[in-house]
Amino acid sequence: MRRKVWISASHALGLSSLAGAIAVFAWSGDAISLPLALFFPLFWSWAKTRLAAALVSSSYFLVASRDLPLSVAEYFKADILSGLGLWMAAAFSFVLVHILLWRQAADLRRALSYGLITALTGFPPLGITGFAHPLTAAGIIFPGWGWWGLAATVMLACCLVTRLWWMAGLVLAACWLWSSTASLSSEIDMVSLEASTEILVPASSETMPLALPTAGPTGSPKAWKGVELHMGKSLGRDPSLRHQRELVVKVVEAAGRDKSIIILPESALGLWTPLRERYWTKVLEFRAITVIAGATVITADGYDNVILAVDKYGSRVIYRQRMPVPVSMWRPWYAWTGQSGGTPARLFENPVVQFDGVTVAPLICYEQLLLWPVLHSMIFDPDLLVAIGNGWWTTGAKIVAVQRASAAAWARLFSIPLVIAFNS
């Protein structure tokens, strides 16, 4: 009896270790490693008891989100216990679903169970903490396949929990190798192209230009450029005029002499006021520049985390964040108790933005870690994916790198250009 218990415990710990190991590499911030996450359902399916399934799913999720405790503590200026508490709370729904739907059953029932798990952990309400979702890897395995690639990834994940796991594993490995080779080849071709022709390339690592044909007033193309900032926690919090002038300098440098749409990170413009609007419209008065940037807009019950478009004619809100960070930003209990504050979750509002003849899918920070916001946007066939964030509180962590990798994977799946603007 003791020998059976020992073997069972060793088996569970071994699977948990494997799940943790793949989480380390899959969620390291390197997009090419994301397909490793798809081996998690395989290890989960090998669990012989619900307790073992709980250990495997806990190990995977907690390791994948390993940077959360220290980053949360830094954000709130609190002790590590606060970070640990939120870390465990975030894992709760993911682990619970994997416990309840684990079963030793026929292949078809197990595959259907895992298909249900992917939906429950990817979409609200449980999907609001559904980061580290294995389906994020779809764009790395099936680049350019769009919805068919997502469906194929779901089928592979479901097959991995059956006795045909070895066949699904071979298909996964082959597609992964093929797409990685094709990606490397295209990168080499692009380097050769840049060396032989005059095309728009980054002047430095701080700008990421992307030329798109747009139907502007003059009919000429405009360049969409994401500007990377390194202003730490001062971004959006420093109310001084000097801070705004620094941002203007960054914008003008990035634009050059082009007719440009400049993307700034989340919260870049801070608390948006009429005075600040007048300042920005004044400095853009004689420039063919539109600034698209994160800002905070006060509402009757709290505030909205938004993306603004600002030019010489004024400003307007073009996007309100659908899924703010739970607890730190989104506090649903405030509405239940009659308190004001926080920012609301607009779960299925404004999935895309029509701007200057281009359909844009915006993602602000936390939304880049989840499954459903980007899929919600992709239903509307956008021309461009814009990902902005403010990661000053993640110094030394991989969170921003994971956000970038996730956004890149989705852009690759649906074959649309990606513009990124982050602050660190």
Structure confidence by residue, pLDDT tens digits, 11-43: 789 999 999 999 999 999 999 999 999 999 999
What is the reported pLDDT for 5?
57
- Same domain, residue pair 112 and 237: no
State the total domains in the chain. Answer: 2
- This prediction has a pTM of 0.89
Lowest-pLDDT range of 48-52, 109-113, 121-125, 203-207:
203-207
What is the reported pLDDT for 190?
38
The residue among 180 and 370 whose pLDDT is bigger is 370
Task: Say whether pLDDT at 296 is over 90.
Answer: yes
Residue 366 CA to residue 327 CA, distance in Å, equals 12
pLDDT digits (tens, 9 = 90+) for 38-85: 999 999 999 999 999 999 999 999 999 999 888 877 777 777 777 888
Is 193 inside a domain boundary? Answer: no
Lowest-pLDDT range of 255-259, 297-301, 322-326, 344-348:
255-259
Last residue of a domain, one of 179, 213, 228: 179
Residue 215 CA to residue 321 CA, distance in Å, equals 26
Is 253 inside a domain boundary? Answer: yes
Crossing angle of helices 50-64/80-100, nearest 10°? 140
Task: Say whether pLDDT at 198 is over 70.
Answer: no
The label of the residue with tokens 């390197």 reads 30
Is 245 inside a domain boundary? Answer: yes
Confidence tier at 212 by pLDDT (50, 70, 90): very low
- Same domain, residue pair 37 and 155: yes
Task: Say whether pLDDT at 3 is over 70.
Answer: no
Task: Say whether pLDDT at 332 is over 80.
Answer: yes
Q: What's phi and psi for 44, nearest 5 deg?
A: -60, -40
- Same domain, residue pair 167 and 258: no
For residue 289, what are the β-bridge partners? 260
Is 226 inside a domain boundary? Answer: yes
Is 185 inside a domain boundary? Answer: no
Is 190 inside a domain boundary? Answer: no
What is the reported pLDDT for 272?
95
Q: What's phi and psi for 305, nearest 5 deg?
A: -90, 110
Task: Return the CATH number at 228.
Answer: 3.60.110.10
Task: Say whether pLDDT at 345 is over 60.
Answer: yes
User: pLDDT exceeding 90 applies to what percent of the chain?
Assistant: 64
- Strand arrangement of the beta sheet that strand 418-423 belongs to: 353-355, 358-364, 384-390, 418-423
- Same domain, residue pair 217 and 152: no
pLDDT digits (tens, 9 = 90+) for 375-396: 999 999 999 999 999 988 887 7
Task: Say whether pLDDT at 109 is over 60.
Answer: yes
CA nearest to 224, candidates 365, 368, 388? 388
What is the reported pLDDT for 188?
37
Query: What is the 8-class DSSP label of residue 341?
Result: -
- Same domain, residue pair 411 and 277: yes
Is 192 inside a domain boundary? Answer: no
Residue 65 CA to residue 88 CA, distance in Å, equals 10
- Same domain, residue pair 243 and 390: yes
Q: Which residues lie below 8 Å from residue 340, measured CB to CB, with a gap of 6+?
A: 300, 301, 302, 334
Structural element, H or E, at residue 211: strand 207-212
What is the reported pLDDT for 58?
96
- Same domain, residue pair 158 and 303: no
Average of per-residue pLDDT across 89-108: 90
What is the reported pLDDT for 208?
40
What are the Cα distances from residue 157, in Å, to 44, 115, 140, 413? Answer: 11, 8, 14, 17
C-alpha distance across the termini of the chain, in Å: 55
What is the reported pLDDT for 197?
29
Last residue of a domain, one of 179, 210, 244: 179
- Same domain, residue pair 147 and 208: no
Domain, as residue range, for 250: 200-423
Task: Say whether pLDDT at 221 is over 80.
Answer: no
Is 189 inside a domain boundary? Answer: no
Average of per-residue pLDDT across 356-371: 94
Task: Say whether pLDDT at 222 is over 90.
Answer: no
> What mean pLDDT, rounded, does the chain reach?
86
CA nearest to 294, candidates 275, 310, 311? 310
pLDDT digits (tens, 9 = 90+) for 161-193: 999 999 999 999 999 999 887 664 454 343 333
What is the reported pLDDT for 153?
97
Do residues 319 and 353 make contact, with C-beta atoms less than 8 angstroms apart?
Answer: yes
- Same domain, residue pair 72 and 211: no
Confidence tier at 106 by pLDDT (50, 70, 90): confident
Do residues 389 and 365 make contact, with C-beta atoms less than 8 angstroms apart?
Answer: yes
What is the reported pLDDT for 355?
86
Task: Say whether pLDDT at 211 is over 60.
Answer: no
